[in-house]
Amino acid sequence: MASMSKAVLKNGLWRAKISYRDPKKRNLERKDQRSHIWIEKRTKEELEKEKSKYEAIEKNVIILGTFGDLLDKWYKERLNHNKPKTLNEYRKYLNYFIEDEQLENVYVSEIKHTDINSYLNDYAYEVRRDGKDSREFPVSWSTKNQYFSALGSFFSWCKQNEYIQENPIKKLEKPKRHFVAKELPPQETWEPMWGKIFEALDEENKEELTVLVHLALEMGSRQGELTALEWRHVNFEKNEIIINQNLYENKELGTTKKSKGHIVSISNSMADELKRFKNNQSKLIENRVDKSHNYILKADNQGKPYRNSSIYKKWRRFLGRHSIEYPEGYGNFKFHDIRHYSASFLFQNIDESEGLTMATERISKRLGHSSADFTRRYYIYYVPKDDKASANVFENFRKNIAKSKDSE
């Protein structure tokens, strides 16, 4: 912005020095781009009007810089503001614009939103960098969102440093996430498969893994919500667990997707199992590194929490050891699929007189969805009349599995 020194009355005229960014010096270093001029006017008001003229000149000053050159400057400056992991991820996606010889030598002031839109839709969103066929494995929403976020960060910085007047990304529509309803294997395979899972858990006798799977199935919670659970969240008197935080991949605690949190009822058998687990785990409490958090699921004897990716790997290794897999055509049995099984078991064991609207509302709350409409679109299950009945569904399910095992 143009600036003006304090006006001084001299020889009947008001005199002041105006400093402004000179268009003729735009190719110089930023510190050398300002010019200074002394102005004399009869009144202070006339001085202010003169200053406004130079402010208008500044607005038309665009500092020249190519996409390739500014990328390095952006990266160095943002190191003090962004997390290195985030910034390096952004840099990776921005480098694609250079590798593909799209924007490296183009002045950022000449880049239009239509140019970026064409590149993203006609190329970036259509090409997988891992070599897979994008026709069979389309570029994911998260990848598209990374492109968009990286460009947004870069061009926002360009605007702040006066390389551009408007951020072209502001004119583009952010990639929309298209959810696809999970397709579980045929219903007749559910009970035999879960019977095999429970039998394998008993055979391995790994208490923590058993608790993890039982909690995931009964509560229907997200992976990060399970790893973030602490003993203070469990109310053994009411058989309830509070879900109000989420543990992200970098082990940072944050709010759940439904930031207000919610309460999930658990069965008597689940509560008893947690009590035994807590008692057996008590010897680890004194070794905890972070005394402020006492996680239910601990990754080591110092009480550190699991990464979400570790839970996924633990689950996949468990299934591999016991040759448990989906029928052909249904892909891998992901840990997140347990959340869908949780909802589907509720659907199978409800009183249909409840009604679709109220039932969907209840299951939505139990799963922690922000709206019943999302549950209706991607889960579409009934639920019992109250959440206590939801918990009983899983107790009965596990009893039926046990009976089948005893009768063999």
pLDDT tens readout for residues 164-221 = 878 899 888 888 777 666 788 888 888 899 999 999 999 999 999 999 999 999 999 9
- Between 159 and 402, the more confident residue is 159
Higher pLDDT: 283 or 106? It is 106
CB atoms within 10 A of CB 158: 23
79-117 pLDDT per residue, tens:
887 778 788 888 888 888 777 666 778 888 888 888 888
Task: Say if 181 falls within a structural domain.
Answer: no
Last residue of a domain, one of 59, 92, 107: 59
Closest CA to 225 of 86, 103, 106, 368: 368
For residue 282, pLDDT over 50 is answered with: yes
Q: In this structure, is residue 343 part of a structural domain?
A: yes
Looking at the predicted structure, is the pLDDT value of residue 384 above 50? no
Task: Average the pLDDT over each of 48-62, 171-185, 309-323 and give the range with the smallest value.
Answer: 48-62
* 149: exposed, middle or buried (Cβ count in 10 Å: 0-12, 13-18, 19+): middle
Predicted confidence at residue 233, as pLDDT, reads 94
Q: In this structure, are 201 and 331 located in the same domain? A: yes
Look-up of token digits 């090409």: 127
215 in Cβ contact with 233 (< 8 Å): no
Specify the DSSP element, H or E, that contains 226.
Answer: helix 223-227
Average pLDDT, the chain: 81
Tell me which residue range forms the domain holding 11. Answer: 3-59
Assigned domain for 377 exists: yes
Q: Is the dihedral of CA 388, 256, 342, 294 positive or negative?
A: negative
Whether residues 280 and 326 share a domain: the answer is yes
Residue scoring higher pLDDT (222 or 28): 222
What contacts 324, CB < 8 A, 6 or more positions away? 193, 196, 197, 200, 333
Residues 206 and 99 in one domain: no
Q: What percent of the chain has pLDDT over 90?
A: 24
Question: Total domain count for the chain?
Answer: 3
| Among candidate residues 13, 35, 59, the one where a domain is terminated | 59
Mean pLDDT of 24-38: 74
Asked if residue 198 and residue 219 are part of one domain, the reply reads yes
Q: Does residue 208 share a domain with residue 93?
A: no
| Residue indicated by tokens 């551009």 | 164
Residues 221 and 329 in one domain: yes
In a domain, 351, yes or no: yes
CA atoms within 13 Å, Cβ hemisphere of 163: 23
Please state the rounded mean pLDDT for residues 144-170: 87
21 and 111 in a single domain? The answer is no
Other C-beta atoms closer than 10 Å to the C-beta of 118 total 13
Decide: 113 and 172 in contact? Cβ < 8 Å.
yes
Residue 375's pLDDT band, with cuts at 50, 70 and 90, is confident
**Does residue 129 carry a pLDDT above 50?**
yes
- pLDDT of 15 reads 86
Residue at 178 is within a domain: no
Least confident among 39-43, 124-128, 156-160: 124-128
Beta pairing, strands 3-4 & 234-235: unpaired
Q: Rounded distance, CA 340 to CA 354, Å?
A: 21
Indicate whether 351 and 300 sit together in one domain.
Answer: yes
Contacts of 299 (CB under 8 A, 6+ apart): 305, 306, 307, 310
